[in-house]
Amino acid sequence: MIPTDRPVLGRDLEAIAQAHGLQASDAIWMLGLTPNKWSDFVRAAPEQPVGDPTLALLVRILDQNPELRLIPEFPTPAEMRELFVDQLGVSPREFSVLMGFQATAGDRWIRMRSRISATTYHLFWALQRTLQQLPKSEREKFIAGWRDTVAQEASTRGVEDVFRAGSWSVNAANDEAVGEAE
């Protein structure tokens, strides 16, 4: 992809990220850069040679070996929903809350109407890896513990029953609780 008759240019960093299906934040990590350095190369000087030979060589090896995976392959929302809803019996509403979102987010992810952040993909990966490493007999126990973790985090943020409210917003959760009390 990157011609061998010229040095690696700033724009090649973005091209290698796209070739690996990465968002900028993951490419920054993969290449060992800071966001400022990434911006210097990709935005400020896209037609200039990359000054760091080590970085240029890393980009070359990634270009020559597209099968190299320095960043994990993140599961899709559909794969995560299948794992949690179909295999583990978590409700679709609870699935979204377990991922730190409003109860309807999972449906939007599946229909591709909602952009998913890099942080969400990282959480998907960490949860999937954790579950895959456990024997099937231990997965439900892990999910129960994860529910406790989620509930505790929500509680520390002022949301007393995040699963009932279906929202991480304090105001929305309180509105839900008041509505049920009336």
Rounded Cα distance between 138 and 17, Å, is 37
Rounded Cα distance between 92 and 16, Å, is 36
Write down the pLDDT at residue 37.
96
Token pair listed for 75: 């599961």
Q: Which helix (H) or strand (E) holds 163?
A: helix 162-165
Query: In the structure, what pLDDT confidence band is assigned to residue 172 with cuts at 50, 70 and 90?
Result: low
Rounded Cα distance between 82 and 180, Å, is 31
DSSP annotation of 87? I
Q: Compute CA 91 distance to the chain's CA centroid, rounded to the nearest angstrom.
A: 21
Q: Encode pLDDT of 46-76 as tens digits.
A: 999 999 999 999 999 999 998 887 888 889 9
Q: What is the mean pLDDT of residues 163-175?
A: 80
The answer to whether 162 and 173 have CB atoms below 8 angstroms apart is yes
Place of tokens 């979204």: 96
Tell me: pLDDT of 178 over 60.
Answer: no
Tell me: pLDDT of 144 over 50.
Answer: yes
Q: What are phi and psi of 7, to 5 degrees?
A: -70, 165
User: For residue 128, how many other CB atoms are within 10 A of its CB?
Assistant: 17
